Amino acid sequence: MITVVGESVLDLVSRDGGRTYTAHPGGSPLNVAVGLARLGRPTAFVARISGGAPGEMLREHARANGVDLRWSVPAREPATLALVRIDQTRQPANDLYVEGTADWQWQDAEPRFPPRPRVLHAGSLASWTPPGGDRIAAALTRARAEDGVLVSFDPNVRPARAWYAGPPRVRASWTRSARETPSPPACWTRWYATATPIPARSAVCRPRPWPGSSTTRPRSPR
């Protein structure tokens, strides 16, 4: 099983200047989990998912695509929201509402992972936003040390969103837990760009060393 840990975000998208919005389940880690499940890979999503209507939309989207949510945590905090306005030139303007939302509030004994996962993938905002980011990093470090699991990390660091930690903190906390990163762009981007799914064996790329670094560089699927 491949396990993905991170946030789920409800994207509210407007194409009429903000007069009306349509809700779309999203968030980078949830999208990764859904993509893997669609490719036929047994996939678990580990997240803190809010209750209420937004959280139920996120859960239903994951379940409908075959994602295992048994290790996700029901949360009382609100869901993270992204308001996206698309202008006449099809360019998006984003507002992200993250203060006090469910995705970052992991407790001391969390997160918990399925037993003996093949790969643990983490990344995006949940991996480096306090207070939960340090707990995710610690849990992945333990899993790598105890089970020898392959850890994949996609920081998804954006200058406009590095309001808490920023890249130096990301590098310091994650180089301890992610030494091999079968980073997905070549594989998963290809899946989204094709009319039919690529073979399931291509869902995880084979890593190769990145010269001068303890991390790895993506290799295109064979």
Residue type present at position 131: P
Torsion sign (Cα): 80, 61, 36, 139: positive
Distances (CA, A) of 115 to 3, 44, 71, 149, 212: 10, 11, 11, 11, 33
Dihedral pair phi/psi, residue 9, rounded to 5°: -130, 140
Task: Please check whether residue 104 is in contact with residue 126, taking contact to mean a CB–CB distance below 8 angstroms.
Answer: yes
Tokens of 32: 């990764």
Q: Across the strands, what pairs with 151?
A: 120
Please compute the mean of the pLDDT values over residues 189-204 and round it to a whole number: 36
Q: What is the pLDDT of residues 31-47, one digit of tens each?
A: 999 999 999 999 999 99
pLDDT above 90 for 93: no
Domains in the chain with CATH codes? 2-217 (3.40.1190.20)
Q: Across the strands, what pairs with 81?
A: 10, 97
- For residue 182, name the pLDDT band (cuts at 50, 70, 90): very low
pLDDT above 50 for 59: yes
Average pLDDT of the chain is 76
* pLDDT value for 87: 83
Q: What's this model's pTM, rounded to 2 decimal places?
A: 0.72
Q: What is the pLDDT of residues 95-149, one digit of tens each?
A: 888 889 999 999 888 899 998 888 999 988 888 888 898 899 889 888 888 877 8
Please compute the mean of the pLDDT values over residues 174-202 and round it to a whole number: 41
pLDDT above 60 for 206: no
How far is CA 218 from its chain centroid? 17
Q: Which phi-psi region, left, alpha or beta, contains residue 42 (left: φ > 0; alpha: ψ -120 to 50)? A: beta
* pLDDT value for 165: 45
